[in-house]
A and B are shown apart, each in its own frame.
Chain A
Amino acid sequence: MSNYNIIMAEKSYLVRLGIMQVLEELKVQATISECSNIKEVKHRLKSMDVDVMIMNAAFKDISASEIIQLKSDHPGLKVAQIINSEEEAIPVVDHIINLNEDKRKVFQKIEAIFKSAQRPKHEASESGLSKREIEILRLVARGLTNSEIAEKLFISTHTVISHRKNISHKLGIKSVAGLTVYAVLNNYIDGSSIR
C-alpha cells in the first residue's frame, strides 16, 4: 500500500495511540499530522495532499457545512469521524467509527477508509500537468485574466477556474506570481515575455 497522509484531529491521547496501533497492524503506511483546531486543519490541507482526516465528534468548531466545504476544496479527501454515541454523527462524513465497536468491526472500518482513499495513480505523478493545464498555466503566467483565457481557448470561465484549481492543487502554488515563477523555471514561458 502506498503512503497516506493523515490528519488526526483527535484530542484524546489514548484514542490516537489506539488508531496508530490499528494502522500498524493493518500495515497501513501513513504520515500523521495532528491538528487541534479547524484553522490548523485548513492550514495543513493547504500545504500538502491529505488523504484522510480522522476527527473526533468533540472536535472544536467543525460543522457539517464546514466539512462539505473542505471536501469540495480538496477533492479526494476522506473524512472519518469517531463518535461515542450515534447522536454525535455528522451525516456528511464518509466514515463513522463508534468507540464502542469491537475489534473486528473497527479493523474492517479502518481498512475500508483507506481502501476508499486510494489515490488514482495518474494524479500523483510529478510531471502531473496535462497539456491543457500547461497551456492555461502559460496564459496565467503571461498575466491574462480568467475571462481572457476563456475567450482565447473557446472554453467557459468556469472551466478555466476549475483547471486553475487543479493546477494549483498539483503544484502546491496558488498565487499568480508563484505560478509565473514556476512557469519560467520550467521553461514554459520565456521570462522576458512577462508583462
Chain B
Amino acid sequence: MKKTSVINPGMKMAEVVHIDYTLLPVINRFGISLGFGDETIEQICRMYHINMDFFLEILNTFHDPDYFPEENLKKYPIGLLIDYLKKTHSYYLEVKVPELEKLITGMIDDPKQERQKHKLMNEFFAHYKKELTDHILREEDKVYPYILDLEKTVKEKNCSDEMKKRLNRYSIDHFPDEHDDVEEKLLDLKNIIIKYLPPPIDANRCNAILYMLFELEKDLNDHARIEDTIMVPMVADLEKQYEKMIKA
C-alpha cells in the first residue's frame, strides 16, 4: 500500500531512514552523514545550518510522488534549489554513471569470445551517458544561470541594460522537455538486460546493474519532478515579478 506519511520537523532522522531508505542519497546530498543518534530533523538542520523548509520540501517530494508543495514555495531562495539540483547532477555524473559504467564494462564473462556483445552494451551505455550529460549541461550552462540572474535582478530591483539583454535571451517556457527521452533509454537498457541478453552472463553482476538502474531511474524521475513542479513554477513567478519591475 502507498505510504503517505508526511515527513515533519519533529521526526527523528533515523526514523525517516527506516520509513524510506531511498532517501539516503538525498540526505547525503545535504552533507548530512550517518550516525544521527536520536536527533530530530529540526536539530539536525540547525546543526548543519540547513534551511529546514527546503530540506523538508525535498525529502517529501522524493518520499511521496503526490506531495505537491504550494504554500512552502517561497520560504527559501531559489538559489538553494539550484544548488541542490546541481549537487544531484554531480551525483549522477560523478558517482552513479561511473559505477554503472564499470559494472557494464565487466558484464560480459568472456570478452574475447563475446567481443561484439561486449562492445554493443558499452556503446549503448555510452549513448545513454552522452544524452544524460548533454541534458545536464544544457541545464547548467543555460537554464540555471538564467534563473540565478533573474533572482538577483528581482531581489535587487535593478537591472542593467546588459542584464536585460541576457534575461531576454531565455524564458522558462523553453525549459527543455527532454526528461522523457532520457528516461526512455534507461527503460530500454533495463529491458535489454532483463529480457534479451543471451547467456553466458554474470548473473550477480547483472542483478547489481539492474538494482542500480532501478535506483537511478527513481532518483532521476524525482529530480525531473522537482524541476518540473517546483523549479519551473518558481521561475515563472520570478518572471512575472521581473516583467512588472521592467514596466514600472
Question: Are B124 and A178 in contact, CB atoms less than 8 angstroms apart?
Answer: yes
Interface of chain B residues 183 through 232 with chain A (CB within 8 A): 183-185, 187-192, 195-198, 221, 225
Question: Are A177 and B184 in contact, CB atoms less than 8 angstroms apart?
Answer: no
Chain B residues whose C-beta falls within 8 Å of the C-beta of A37 in the assembled complex? 65-66
Closest B residue to A185 by beta carbon equals B196
> How many A residues touch B, CB cutoff 8 Å?
25
Judge if B2 is at the interface, Cβ distance under 8 Å: yes
Closest A residue to B224 by beta carbon equals A39
Supposing A34-B1, A40-B65, A185-B120 touch, asked if A174 and B221 sit within 8 A by C-beta, the answer is no
Give CA–CA (A46, B121) in the complex, Å: 22
Judge if A85 is at the interface, Cβ distance under 8 Å: no
Give CA–CA (A88, B124) in the complex, Å: 46
Closest approach, in angstroms, between the C-beta of B191 and any C-beta of chain A?
4
Chain B residues whose C-beta falls within 8 Å of the C-beta of A16 in the assembled complex? 1
Chain A residues whose C-beta falls within 8 Å of the C-beta of B120 in the assembled complex? 181, 184-185, 191
Judge if A47 is at the interface, Cβ distance under 8 Å: yes
Give CA–CA (A185, B192) in the complex, Å: 9
Closest B residue to A43 by beta carbon equals B221
Give CA–CA (A137, B230) in the complex, Å: 40
Question: Are B117 and A46 in contact, CB atoms less than 8 angstroms apart?
Answer: no
Supposing A34-B1, A36-B2, A185-B197 touch, asked if A171 and B191 sit within 8 A by C-beta, the answer is yes
Judge if B116 is at the interface, Cβ distance under 8 Å: yes
Chain B residues whose C-beta falls within 8 Å of the C-beta of A173 in the assembled complex? 188, 191-192
Question: Are A178 and B116 in contact, CB atoms less than 8 angstroms apart?
Answer: no
Give CA–CA (A18, B128) in the complex, Å: 43
Judge if A175 is at the interface, Cβ distance under 8 Å: yes
Give CA–CA (A178, B120) in the complex, Å: 10
Chain B residues whose C-beta falls within 8 Å of the C-beta of A154 in the assembled complex? none
Judge if B102 is at the interface, Cβ distance under 8 Å: no
Question: Are A174 and B188 in contact, CB atoms less than 8 angstroms apart?
Answer: yes
Chain B residues whose C-beta falls within 8 Å of the C-beta of A60 in the assembled complex? 66
Supposing A47-B187, A174-B187, A175-B185 touch, asked if A182 and B192 sit within 8 A by C-beta, the answer is yes
Judge if B119 is at the interface, Cβ distance under 8 Å: yes
A46: contacting residue among B65, B116, B123, B187, CB under 8 A:
B187
Interface of chain B residues 102 through 160 with chain A (CB within 8 A): 116-117, 119-121, 123-124, 127-128
Interface flags, B58-101, vs A, CB<8A=1, else 0: 00000001100000000000000000000000000000000000
Give CA–CA (A194, B197) in the complex, Å: 19
5 pairs of A and B residues whose beta carbons are closest in the complex: A178-B188, A172-B191, A191-B116, A177-B127, A173-B188
Q: Can you give 24 contacting A-B residue pairs, CB < 8 Å?
A: A13-B1, A34-B2, A36-B65, A39-B225, A40-B65, A43-B183, A43-B221, A171-B196, A174-B184, A174-B187, A174-B188, A177-B127, A177-B128, A177-B188, A178-B124, A178-B185, A178-B188, A178-B189, A178-B191, A181-B188, A185-B117, A185-B192, A185-B198, A191-B119
